[in-house]
Amino acid sequence: MAEVNNETKNVSSAKGIAGGYWFTAPLGTSLPSAINDVLDTKFVNQGFLSEDGINFSDEKDTEDKTDLNGEKVDSATTEISKGMTLTYLEVKKSAQAEQYGEANVTDSNGVLDVKDTGEDLPHRCGVFKGVLKNGRKMMIVVPDCQLSELGDLQVGGGELFARECTYNLYKDATLGCYKRFIYESTETTASGA
């Protein structure tokens, strides 16, 4: 194997694309398969997210298996859990509907009416469009997610009127729990380039 040097060009932070970076739609909406695909019209731009962005989490529980002498001979995975956490910052109908359900949010005659019923919300899908260092495009497609927890809503001076949202991610046969697309690889070139 050839020796490869560390490369700072492969180290990057990520930012959302200006003008819109987190889009959600009903489960079953046609998902993009390339960065330049136009999103299905069912996808809605959910507006600003907090500076923490989107946090993807992984949890795996294992159970040790022992032989009759008590020596560990194997470890079996008993549970795998994938999640995602983000905070919607805009107080608008679509972002409120993501937190409380479409049927519980109306915007009519200049009044945004939001009812918190505590009910389980339907599964959704999402797309994050971002950019890495040096303008490299990236996209994360979440084929199936469901809101599982709302953080505290603090109402007070100097605090944003926002709640942290935690989602469970569910595996899709094609994309897994989520799929990352990172364009302009630093190690290969596009065919025909």
Residue that the structure tokens 């795998």 belong to: 80
Whether 77 and 67 have beta carbons less than 8 Å apart is answered as: no
**Residue 29: both structure tokens together:** 């909406």
3-state SS assignment for residue 42: coil
- For the entire predicted model, the pTM comes to 0.85
Residue 134 has what pLDDT?
A: 85
Per-residue pLDDT of the chain (193 residues; tens, 9 = 90+): 566 788 888 888 899 998 899 999 999 999 999 888 999 999 999 999 999 999 999 887 777 888 888 888 887 766 778 999 999 999 999 999 999 999 999 999 999 999 999 999 999 999 999 999 888 899 999 999 999 999 998 888 888 899 999 999 999 998 999 999 988 777 777 765 4
Whether 22 and 128 have beta carbons less than 8 Å apart is answered as: yes
Residue 3 has what pLDDT?
A: 64
